[in-house]
Structure formats: structure tokens, C-alpha cells
Amino acid sequence: MGNLSQFGSQKPSGPTGVRHLTVSPEHAGQRLDNFLLRELKGLPKSRVYRLVRKGEVRVNLGRVGAGYRLRSGDTVRIPPVRLGPADDRPPPAGLETGPVLFEDAHLLVLDKPAGVSVHKGTGVRAGVIEVLRSQRSELPFLELVHRLDRDTSGCLMLAKSRAALTGLHAALRRDTGEPPVVKRYLALVRGQPGEARIRVRAGLRRNLVRGGERMVAVAEDGEPAESVFRTVRPGRLCSLVEIELLTGRTHQARVHAAHIGHPIAGDRKYGDREFNKAMRRAGLRRLALHAHSLEFIHPVTGEPRRVEAPPPAVFDSLSDDVR
């Protein structure tokens, strides 16, 4: 049987036979989809997820979801697939990953710029993780701890060791007994919230298709999602708010903001078109959502940490100018 330490070493362009790989202790905790995406380079992401949904990928002879976290000793069955050529070109020059906010032997936190993807995908040749792996080829391990939308700026955490990755994933899940990672965002929203503090509990359902575009929507049968909105600077046209995410669902801050009637400025997917036009006339050229701070217990040293990414200057100027 193979071992996860061999992942990514093969670059076939033709069909491969059935493979059975055994998960080693140092790779325990990795999500199945992330493992498959790295192992099956050249295969479209949609095809990878379809293999999982159809049960062609098995773990310990059974069907599991794409979010299943591999455990030491698990046996992963990969079916025969035809792989396209792996794209081994270096990331395009000049792609900014943002300044380093914190770094030690186990963690790296960046202030990701707006407009930069965290990883490659459809129509995106490279993102932050590919650039950093290219720039820091001496690092034996470098993985995203979490993700940010392409148009969201701010604190992005990466793990430089498996222990850091698994520890932080446990903290992010908030159901393991570990002290949670506290994620706070700053956003410019339409109008002025009627209360200084609003707690939103509204389940979210993914992959709804509207107008040919995949969306996330509030739904009673959706995954539980909870956010807390606090008004920092109220205004007439827009207000600066802090959003604390108590869960980590896709597009949670954006969908919850729209759900309470205060969509985020510059949000072309869930926002208000006329409000976005007004904010653009006022000088906004981006989604007004910024991952402002992370608070967590260091998964290896046990020390409490708070890392902040300063808000973009346009947030302060617009929240002052458009009152």
C-alpha cells in the first residue's frame, strides 16, 4: 500500500489503476477532499467531488463525505482515473500575498490583499498557497488553515506543521472542547443597524443555483450558522460594523448581513445594486469586508495569541465621509 508521504509525487497523464493508500500518523486530520485534490493533480475539482459523491472513493471500504478527516491507519481507495497534465509552471510573477503579521516555526499569518485567491481554481492559475510554496520551497509542510473569499482582505492563517494544522482545525470546529479560534471582521454595511449589537442565528444552505450562479442562502434545514454584529461607527448611507463569526460557513458574514437588511458594500452576489453604485461613486472599488483579527491558543506552545490586520484606509474615510 502507498503512504501519504508519497502524495503528489506522481504526475501521470493517462489512466491510473486502483490505488489503496494508508494514512500515516503525521497526515492524520487532513480533509479527504484536500488529499484528493493534491493527489489527483490535473483532474478538475468538480470531477474529484463527483468521485466522492458516487462512492468511487472509499475510506476503510466505506463511503464518506468530502469533509471527512482522515485518521491514522485509514485506507483510502482511489479509483482508476485519467489525469490531465499537471500544471507545474511557477506562479505568475508579481502576485502579492500580503505582509506577514505573525510567524514562528509552526504558524504564518498574512494580511491577504483583496482580489487575491487563497488557492488556485477555475480560472485562477495560482493563489496565496501556491505562491508561498514556490517562494518558500525549503518548508517541508505548508497548508491553509482556513480560507477567505477572493475579494475579502485580512488575516489568513497557514500552518507550517501538521501539529499546528490539526490543532487549529479542532479549535475552528468548536465542538472538540478546544478553546475556539475567534474570528472578527470589519465591514461597511448599508444604512444603520437599529441595535448596537445583533446576534444572528440563521442556518445556511450551499450550492443553490440562481441565474446560473451557485449561491448560499438562509434556510431552516441549512447548516447551523451564528454571527454577532456590533456597530462601530453608525452612518446614514453606511455604517462600519464588526462581525464575529461563531461558526465558519461559506459566505456566512455576507449572507447574514443581507439577511438582517444591511448588506455589505461592494457585494455583487448578495448585496444591493443601488447601494453598491452609491458606494462606488463615493470611492469604493472592492468588497468592503476585512478579516480584522484572530484570537487563538497556539496549538503547539499553548500561548494565547491575538493577531490583527489594520483596516483598509478606505473603510475609515468612507464611514466618515458618507454619514
Q: Domains of the chain (ranges plus CATH)? A: 2-78 (3.10.290.10), 100-173 (3.30.2350.10), 182-321 (3.30.2350.10)
Residues 6 or more apart whose CB falls under 8 angstroms from that of 137 comprise none
How does residue 185 score in pLDDT terms, banded at 50, 70 and 90?
very high
Percentage of the residues of the chain whose pLDDT score is greater than 90: 59
pLDDT, average across residues 22-38: 80
Q: Residue 80: phi, psi to the nearest 5?
A: -65, 130
How does residue 10 score in pLDDT terms, banded at 50, 70 and 90?
very low
Residues 6 or more apart whose CB falls under 8 angstroms from that of 147 comprise 118, 119
Is the pLDDT confidence value at 13 over 60? no
Q: How many residues does the chain have?
A: 323
What integer pLDDT is reported at residue 85 of this predicted model? 58
Q: State how far the alpha carbon of 86 is from the alpha carbons of 89, 124, 142, 206, in Å.
A: 9, 15, 20, 29
127 closest CA partner among 162, 91, 101, 73: 91
- Integer-rounded Cα Rg, in Å, for the chain is 21
List 149, 151, 267, 272, catalytic entry: 149
Report yes or no: 257 and 264 within 8 Å, Cβ to Cβ. Answer: yes
- The b-or-e profile of 81-113 (16+ CB within 10 A means b, else e) is bebeeeeeeebeeebebbeebbeeebbbbbbbb
pLDDT, average across residues 77-82: 88
Q: Integer distance in angstroms from the first to the last C-alpha of the chain?
A: 64
Is the pLDDT confidence value at 284 over 60? yes
Q: How many CA atoms lie within 13 A of 12 on its CB side?
A: 11
pLDDT, average across residues 9-14: 41
pLDDT, average across residues 50-74: 92
Residues 6 or more apart whose CB falls under 8 angstroms from that of 280 comprise 266
155 closest CA partner among 296, 286, 31: 296
189-191-193 Cα angle (round to 5):
85
How does residue 89 score in pLDDT terms, banded at 50, 70 and 90?
low
What integer pLDDT is reported at residue 93 of this predicted model? 63
Report yes or no: 231 and 196 within 8 Å, Cβ to Cβ. Answer: yes
How does residue 276 score in pLDDT terms, banded at 50, 70 and 90?
very high
Q: Does the active-site annotation cover 149?
A: yes
The three cell numbers of residue 216 are 448560499
Residues 6 or more apart whose CB falls under 8 angstroms from that of 257 comprise 187, 189, 229, 243, 263, 264, 267, 270
